[in-house]
Structure 1
Amino acid sequence: MSEAFKAAWAQLAKHSDPTLADLFAADPQRVDKFTGRLELGEGGILFDWSKTHLTDALIADFTALAEAAGFDEMRRRMFAGEVVNPTENRAAEHSALRGVGREASVEEAAALRERMKLLVQAIHDGALGEVKHLIHVGIGGSALGPALAVDALGRDLALVDVHVVSNIDGVALEEAFAACDPQTTLLAVASKTFTTIETMTNAQSALDWLAANGVADPAGRVIALTAAPEKAVEWGVDETRILPFAESVGGRYSIWSSIGFPVAVAIGWEDFQAFLDGAAAVDRHFRDTAGAANLPLRAAFSDLYYARIKGAETRAVFAYDERLGLLPDYLQQLEMESNGKSVTAEGDPVDGPTAPITWGGVGTDAQHAVFQLLHQGTHLVPIDFIASIAPGDALDPAHHRILLMNCFAQGAALMAGKQSEDPARSYPGNRPSATILCDDLDPATVGALIAFHEHRTFANAVLMGINPFDQFGVELGKEIAKKIEKGGEQFDPSTEALLAKAGLAG
């Protein structure tokens, strides 16, 4: 990395560490200064980073780091469809899928999206017969994104009952079978290469289930979502039911492509388009906003302050909304698969921590489980709280009022603490948190939340000098699993003993 880049990091390490209480006392405008809002048509999202240790001086030095890291140029290259994944010589054009990016890529994405729209509408219009259920099989980004969006948006008035299955454990697939009528079930197979062993094994078992339950043409019930349509044809899928997506779309960034098919089937095309539009609003903000006013970049400043400067090994995300219960799982892959690297984009060893471990849960359940450690434990854990002002239920308003009061109270308590002469009842305070407060949890807002975290992850990567778009770390285990299946290989004594015990020894 350049000398300016190294010097910028060295300057950041020199900052003092005033308490959060001192920061608020010293600056009456702190809330306004470290809060920003994104407008999303009829609603929006408030981002409050005032309860973190960011200061004007830190923001200035992080802005200098962004300049030294070439952030503006890397952002331009990503939106221009140029190579930003050097190890695989690829672009990363997920924003083009929602209409913001290189013109040719936006046009190509629009054509593929129109193809998916026609199929979705045909299903809803009954052209494929009565369809009450969809079993969607995929893994990684091909499952986590659809599962999150369907769970968040398809609870009340789902047009089709969608079950997302990723685990090769047959129990997961059997649960989906038990909830579906085979005569009214479609099967979506999501695989970029259409060779992923877990996905294709699950897909074949789903076909067998359809056939065993009297479906005359099981293959005719399959929709393929893939970047390798020729492989889907070989597998037996009718080419009119193949929804392709571009090779430049990575798995954890793929929900905006045909991988979003189960979302559109569940909630309808109009709401799916709103989901895309919400993400596009974040794209335009991220692309066009300079400096610390850029909300994903500001979030990255906070992330890196705690992970790199203060040594925080984890970052917690707590959604005070049952509909976002899968968000921590989704962010685990997005952040840790993208930025869990040990070399820079140039292939040199990194000189500090990269992605923290992302974890979390749902409020208020988590308060009675892990918050003991957050309030009184010895670990520094920066926290994001995410909530919606509008409730997702029609019960007594007391439910939502109590939910929000608990959310805000936890941030206040973590910051303020409470001293006691009894050490066991003393709270140190000065523990950082950020709050992401949505006006409502509608399709545009969910799309915006996902896109915000995508760009936050990218900004973190650029400021660390790493490539967030490859994921070679997931390959080695797969290779060894294939060797075990093939047989004839010798492994360490522990693995050999486990294979023998399970009856898998070659």
Structure 2
Amino acid sequence: MTTALTHSPVWQELLGHDDTEHAGALLGADPGRVERYCLHHEDLRVDLSRHPVTDSTWERLLRLAEERGVPGRIEALFSGASVNESEGRPALHTALRSRPDASIHVDGEDVIPAVYEELQRMAAFVEALRSGDVRGYDGRPLRHVVNIGIGGSEAGVTMAHQALADGDEPLRLHTVSGVDGRELAAVWGRIDPAETLFCVASKSFSTLETLTNARTAWAWLEAEAGRPVPEQFVGISANESAMADFGIPAERRFRIWEWVGGRYSLPSTMGLPLAAVIGMERFNELRRGMRAMDEHFRSAPAAQNIPLLLGLLGVWQISLRGATGHVVLPYHPGLRRLPAYLQQLDMESLGKSVTRDGQPVDYPTGTSCWGEVGINGQHSFFQWLHQGTGRVIAEFLVPVEEGGLPERHAGLNLASALGQVQALCQGQAPQGSGPEAEHHRYEGGRPVTLILFRRLDAYTLGRLLALHEHRVFVQASLWGINPFDQWGVELGKRVAKGLAPVARGEAPPPAEADAATRQALRWAGCWGAGESSDGTGV
């Protein structure tokens, strides 16, 4: 049975430990603090010195990891044990980027050969696609790839494409996720049907949004070509029979497995649309970066283990010090979708209120995760970060190299990031006294993590993504929750499915529809019919 965090003797020690000193004061009083609290992985620098932890805090947190069994959970994750308890299966996203000579057994079968078999099939298809050997219905090479997916089947592809594509690729990527048809209509205005490949990505191959869009795309392409065009569709799923029933040819069906969650699936065949655009070499560099962080997480000593320490720090800030948010601030426009990607990873994994064995928790787990390109955020919500009353963990991700930029831009991005980091940590007392002066008081002491890296490339992006996957796993292990299920998402899907015929005017509201939902449907029905509505009930 999973013991509640609050029953932990070490947690009780932390509750009684005085950690109220201002982080700026701690920095000023300890010349060796930055060196001790800065973690390294090759060129990656993760500076935790601006959190108000002390050496004795770290000593207790590392003991907490031992007491909560985190080392054993890490080994269970990598070895294929059933760490997704509520669904009774492993979570083997690490196998997707493992070395080809690795061996991981699930139900007595080594999964690595199957992973590499699919990756090799994918590589051959990507090479043929990029070289122009895959052609559309009129014989022309394909130039556009439309990824139809949602959630984990879309977020990673979109985020990594924006980070890594340079605009000179032979193929153009378009993504469709929303179910109202507007995204599809917009894409149709930018593509030639005879030059377009549609990738239908759904682990279950039953997702409402994805299958609705896929069927509409199939009908559109058939109308344009004058015949069905199954050869211009690719399927990526764990459900082989559903792909076949849809009409996707066998050689265009690519497999994923039930033991990988959608939000962890980018380095699998789910990444095919990305690989088609940036090439398999760079896609494999992304996988190699993830593997490098996997190996660090599994083998680095606890006191130098970056995901472990970030996870410990997150639990300490959220459950003990009351942090209610985690703001992700990349100082690179190519990472503009990273906050949304991490939002799903963080909030879908950690948004739980029961332990792994179904007992209610009595402490905060997870928090809101959000963000924006940092330089843009400085002109919107940074005011709240500096002088608001909320407490959030601010994570700055900053590349150093700026090759190819005009000379007058040199150093401005780095200076902007470091200036904000220092201001959030140190604060500033007002000059003078009185009510007017108080408007210029900056308390500082905001918890800030600074991640510096040489340049944004596929290898570094892979390391950053795996770093956060493992940080989330550590937090879940400490809280005793399961980060690999998402039953709340499933509830919303079930309710929506029952309301779809009502929204189309084909059925009355189901009995379980509450009064507010019924009234919303009445309003929608009146407006959809062109009638006026005074907002009263019927």
Q: Same fold (TM over 0.5)?
A: yes
Residue in 2 aligned with 1:377? 388
Residue in 1 aligned with 2:371? 360
The one-letter amino acid paired with 2:127 is Q
The one-letter amino acid paired with 1:143 is E
**Native 8 Å contact 1:157 1:267 kept in 2:** no
**Native 8 Å contact 1:385 1:407 kept in 2:** yes
- Residue 414 (1) aligns with residue 414 (2): no
**Native 8 Å contact 1:385 1:434 kept in 2:** yes
Residue in 1 aligned with 2:82? 83
Residue in 2 aligned with 1:99? 98
- CA shift in 2, pair 1:464/1:400, >3 Å: farther
CA distance in 2, matches of 1:418, 1:331: 31
Bigger radius of gyration among the two = 2
- CA shift in 2, pair 1:11/1:493, >3 Å: same
Residue in 2 aligned with 1:476? 491
Residue in 1 aligned with 2:114? 108
The one-letter amino acid paired with 2:161 is V
Structure 2 matches for 1:255-294, cutoff 5 A? 255-294=266-305
* Offset at residue 3 of structure 1 (A): 8.1
- CA shift in 2, pair 1:36/1:154, >3 Å: same
SS of residue in 2 equivalent to 1:316: strand
Structure 2 matches for 1:99-498, cutoff 5 A? 99=98, 102-103=103-104, 104-129=110-135, 130-214=141-225, 216-391=227-402, 394-420=404-430, 421=433, 422-486=437-501, 487-488=507-508, 489-490=510-511, 491-498=513-520
CA distance in 2, matches of 1:178, 1:23: 57
Cα deviation 1:178-213 (Å, max 9, x = unaligned): 221211110000001111110000111112222233
**Native 8 Å contact 2:85 2:356 kept in 1:** yes
CA distance in 1, matches of 2:45, 2:169: 28
Residue in 1 aligned with 2:533? none
Cα deviation 1:364-419 (Å, max 9, x = unaligned): 1110100010001111111000111123x633143251111101100000111111
**Native 8 Å contact 2:4 2:361 kept in 1:** no
* Offset at residue 59 of structure 1 (A): 1.1
SS of residue in 1 equivalent to 2:356: coil
SS of residue in 2 equivalent to 1:364: helix
SS of residue in 2 equivalent to 1:345: coil
Cα deviation 1:207-241 (Å, max 9, x = unaligned): 22222333644221001010111110111000100
- CA shift in 2, pair 1:503/1:155, >3 Å: farther
- Residue 14 (1) aligns with residue 20 (2): no
**Native 8 Å contact 2:4 2:480 kept in 1:** no
SS of residue in 1 equivalent to 2:395: strand
Segments of 5+ residues of structure 1 without an aligned counterpart are none
- Residue 55 (1) aligns with residue 54 (2): yes
The alignment yields a C-alpha RMSD, in angstroms, of 1.6
* TM-score normalised by structure 1 residue count: 0.96
- CA shift in 2, pair 1:495/1:55, >3 Å: same
Residue in 1 aligned with 2:34? 31
Cα deviation 1:56-104 (Å, max 9, x = unaligned): 1111111111111111111111100110011000100000100166432
Q: Aligned residue pairs: how many? A: 500
SS of residue in 1 equivalent to 2:288: helix
Bigger drift between 88-97 and 158-167 goes to 158-167
**Native 8 Å contact 1:339 1:355 kept in 2:** yes
Identity rate, percent: 37
**Native 8 Å contact 1:363 1:403 kept in 2:** no
- CA shift in 2, pair 1:318/1:298, >3 Å: same
CA distance in 1, matches of 2:400, 2:4: 46
The one-letter amino acid paired with 2:182 is V
* Offset at residue 172 of structure 1 (A): 1.6
Bigger drift between 322-331 and 306-315 goes to 306-315
- CA shift in 2, pair 1:463/1:3, >3 Å: closer
**Native 8 Å contact 1:79 1:102 kept in 2:** no
CA distance in 2, matches of 1:168, 1:3: 40
